Amino acid sequence: MLLKKRLIKRDELWQKLTKIILVVVFISFLFSCTPHSYFKSIINEDLNKILKNYPTQEDYPNAGAVLLNNYSYIELFNDGTSVVRELSRYKILNERGYEFASKSIGYREGYQEVKVFFANTIKPDGSVIRLEEKDIKDFAPYAKYEFYTDIKQKKFTMPAIEPGCVVEYSYEIKNVKPLLTYDIYSLFLCKTKYPIKEDILEVVMPKNKSLKYKMFVTNISPEVSEISDKKRYIFKSLNQEEIIPEPRMPQPYDRETFPQFYVWSLDNWDTISKWYISLVKEQMQVDDELKNFTEALILNKKTNEEKIREIFYFVSQKVRYVAVELGPYTHKPHSAVEVFKKRYGDCKDKTTLLLTMLKIAGITGYPVLVPSNEDILDEEVPTINMFNHVIAVVPKKDEDEYFWLDATNEVASFDSIPFSVPIKVFVIDSNGKGKFITTPDVRDDKDFYYTSSIYNIDENGDSEVEYNCKCYGKAAEGLRYLFKYTSPEERKKYFEKQGIEVKELNFFNIDNVEEPFTYILKGNVKNLVQKVDENTMILSDTVLIDSYKDITAVKTRKYPIDFRPSMLSKSEVIYNFPKGYKIKNIPKEYNRNDPYKKGFLKFTFKDSSFKVYSETKSYKYKISPLEFENFKNHALEIQKYESSVKNIIFEK
C-alpha cells in the first residue's frame, strides 16, 4: 500500500514537471513564432464595443486621423538574419486622413521576403471590407535599368475608405541574406503630425548581443526580459498629442525639440568601415577596355589635379545618374567594369567607377558615406542605415584638405564643395579605417548670386528691361541644372510667368561648370510703375524683405523658430525714369546683422535714375519660444521699414 502511494505521488510529480516543461517550450515557441500574438486583426472581436471606445473628431478637432495602435517588432537571429513585423491601425477622421489608406513596402528581391498578413477596412457600422490578395501589387520602380530590377515595392490601397472608418494592416519583412550582419537600427519618433494612442517597439536579440538606446526629450525606459537564449526589449509611447504645425518650426526629427530615441546593435564604426571598403574594393575591377580608356583620357595630363579633373568630368557628365537611394540591402555597388560599359549607375556605382579610374591613374581616393539627414547623424550610433548617399574624396598634400568629388552631380566643378551647407560625413580610407569630418562651408567670395537689372521706364509706366544674372560656385548648380534640362520654349515661359515679355534670352556656361553660370534677358514689362497723373508715378515692391509676417501674427509659440541658411545674394537694380522726374523722398539705408540674417539696402538717385543695391544672406539659427516676444518686437520694426519703402513716389 505504501509503495502504491509512492508510485502515485511520483506519477503526479512527473505530470506536473511535464506540464512545466511544456509551458516553457510553448512560451519559447510563441516568442519566436510568426506571426507574433500581437499581430492579429480585431475583426473577430466585438467590433461595436471596440469602435464605440475609439476617439472621435471631437476629441481631436485638428487631426485627419488617429494612430490607434502601432506595433513594430524586430528580431535578430544568431546567424545574422532578421525579421521585421509591423502592425498599424488608424481611425480615419476626415479626408485629410486618407493618406493612411495607402501603403508601400520597399524590399530587395533575393535579399528580403515580404508577406502581408492582413489588411482590413472596418466601416463605422462595423462591417468589414478585406483587402483582396490580388489588390496587393508588386512594383519595380527601376525596371528599365538592368542593375536595379531587384529593387521592388509591394503596394496596396485600402478599400471603401470613408470618414469614421478604421484601417488596419500587418506585414513582415524577412532579411534572409544580410549584407552587414547584426546591424539593427531604428529611429523612433514619439510625436508626429497625427495623435498617437499606442506606439510600441519590441526588439528581440540573441542573449549574447546587446541593444543600445539613446533618448532625447523623453524618459521612456524599456521593459527588458529574458526567455531562453533571447533578450527582449519593449519600448512604449502612449497618448501622444499631434504636432500642430507652426511656420518655420523644426522637423519632427529635431532632437532638441521633440521626444524620440534611437536603438542600435553595433558596437563601433570599425565594423562598418571595414565592411564597406571590402565591398568597394571587390567591385573595383579593371579590364583592358577600362584601363585603356582611362589612360587615353588622362594622356598629356601632367599633374594629379589635371587627371582628377578629367576623370571626374567623365564620370559625372558622361555616365548617367540613376537616383536609387541607399537603404537596407542596397549598399553594394556594381563592378566598375559593368558601370563603365553600361554608362549608368547610382551614387555608389558611379563613385566606385570614379575610384577605380583614379587608381588606374595612380591616384588614391576614398569613399565617403553621406547621411540621409545631417540633423539625425550621431557619432555614438554606429549603423549603415544612417546613410543614403556616397561620394569620393582625394586627399590633397595637406591631409586635412580634400578634393570633394560627387560623381552624381553633373553640374558641379571638380574643385567645388560637395554641399551648400556643412555636413558631417564618414570617410573610409583604403585600410578600412573610418573617420568623421565636416564638409567645407560655402564662401561668400566664391559661392554667391549676382544680378543686375536696368529698367527704362516710359511715360505710361511700361518698361524695357535688361536682366543679367551671374551665379558663382555652388550657387550656380541649381539654375544650371534647371535650364540645362528645359527646352528653349520652357526657358522663355519661366520668365513670362514673372510678367516679362521676352525679346531676347541667352545662356552662357551651361556646360562649362568652372565658369559662372550666366543668363542675359531683354524684354518688356507692362505697368512696372503706377502712373497716378501726368506728373506722378509710384514704384511699388522694389525690394523684397523677409519681415516674418508669417510668424508675428500670433501671441505665443509652442516650438522654436528654425532658420535655414542660404548663400549670399547681391543685386543692383537701376530704374531710369522719363526725363524730369525726381524722387519725393529717398528711402533710408537699411542694415541688419542678426544671428540668422544679414541684410543691406542702399538707395541713390541721380539724373532721373533710381538705384537700389542689396545684399542678403541667411544663417542656420534657432529662436526658442521664450525668446519669441523679443524676436517679434524686432520683426515688427522690420515690417515698419518694409512698409516705408513699399511705395516710392516720383514727381515731375
**Choices 3.90.1280.10, 3.10.620.30, 3.30.420.10, 3.40.50.11860: CATH for 270-438:** 3.10.620.30
Return the pLDDT at 325. 57
CB 227 within 8 A of CB 206: no
Which uninterrupted H or E stretch holds 633? Answer: helix 628-644
**Residue pointed to by grid coordinates 577596355:** 289
| Domain assignments of the chain as residue spans, ordered by start | 32-264, 270-438, 448-651
Judged by average pLDDT, the poorest of 143-152, 171-180, 540-549 is 143-152
Mean of pLDDT values over 530-539: 96
Q: What is the CATH number of domain 32-264?
A: 2.60.40.3140
Mean of pLDDT values over 132-143: 88
Return the pLDDT at 397. 81
Look at residue 27 and tell me whether its pLDDT is greater than 90: no
Q: Is the dihedral of CA 153, 159, 165, 168 positive or negative?
A: negative
In this prediction, what percent of the chain has a pLDDT beyond 70?
Answer: 93
Return the pLDDT at 141. 80
Helix count and strand count (H, E) for the chain:
11, 35
Mean of pLDDT values over 423-434: 96
CB atoms within 10 A of CB 378: 17
What does the pLDDT look like over 314-346, one tens digit per residue?
Answer: 999 999 998 775 454 467 899 999 999 999 999
Return the pLDDT at 7. 34
**Residue pointed to by grid coordinates 476629441:** 59
Residues of the chain by 3-state class (helix, strand, coil), percent to 5: 25, 35, 40
Mean of pLDDT values over 487-502: 96
- Orientation angle between helical segments 304-318 and 347-360, nearest 10 degrees: 150
pLDDT range class, residue 36, cuts 50, 70, 90: low
Same CATH topology for 32-264 and 270-438: the answer is no
What does the pLDDT look like over 633-650, one tens digit per residue?
Answer: 999 999 999 999 999 999
Return the pLDDT at 297. 97
In this prediction, what percent of the chain has a pLDDT beyond 90?
Answer: 86
Q: Is the dihedral of CA 250, 255, 259, 264 positive or negative?
A: positive
DSSP annotation string for 79-107:
TS-EEEEEEEEEEE-SGGGGGGGEEEEEE
19 vs 145, which has greater pLDDT? 145
Return the pLDDT at 565. 96
Q: Please state, rounded to an integer, the average pLDDT across all residues of the chain.
A: 91
What does the pLDDT look like over 52-107, one tens digit per residue?
Answer: 999 999 999 999 999 999 999 999 999 999 999 999 999 999 999 999 999 999 99
Q: How far apart are CA 175 and CA 213, in angstroms?
A: 22
Look at residue 11 and tell me whether its pLDDT is greater than 80: no
Return the pLDDT at 4. 36
Q: Is the dihedral of CA 162, 168, 173, 174 positive or negative?
A: negative
C-alpha dihedral (8, 13, 14, 15), degrees to nearest 10: 90
Look at residue 17 and tell me whether its pLDDT is greater than 70: no
Q: Residue 54 is placed in which grid cell?
A: 475609439
Q: Residue 363 is placed in which grid cell?
A: 591616384
pTM flag (> 0.85): yes
Q: How far apart are CA 92 and CA 63, in angstroms?
A: 9
Look at residue 447 and tell me whether its pLDDT is greater than 90: yes
Look at residue 13 and tell me whether its pLDDT is greater than 60: no
Look at residue 483 and tell me whether its pLDDT is greater than 90: yes
Look at residue 24 and tell me whether its pLDDT is greater than 80: no
pLDDT range class, residue 374, cuts 50, 70, 90: confident
CB 401 within 8 A of CB 395: yes
Q: Residue 447 is placed in which grid cell?
A: 559661392
Judged by average pLDDT, the poorest of 23-27, 135-139, 153-157, 205-209 is 23-27
pLDDT range class, residue 37, cuts 50, 70, 90: low
pLDDT range class, residue 8, cuts 50, 70, 90: very low
Burial degree of 346 (CB within 10 A; 0-12, 13-18, 19+): buried
Return the pLDDT at 70. 97
CB 616 within 8 A of CB 563: no
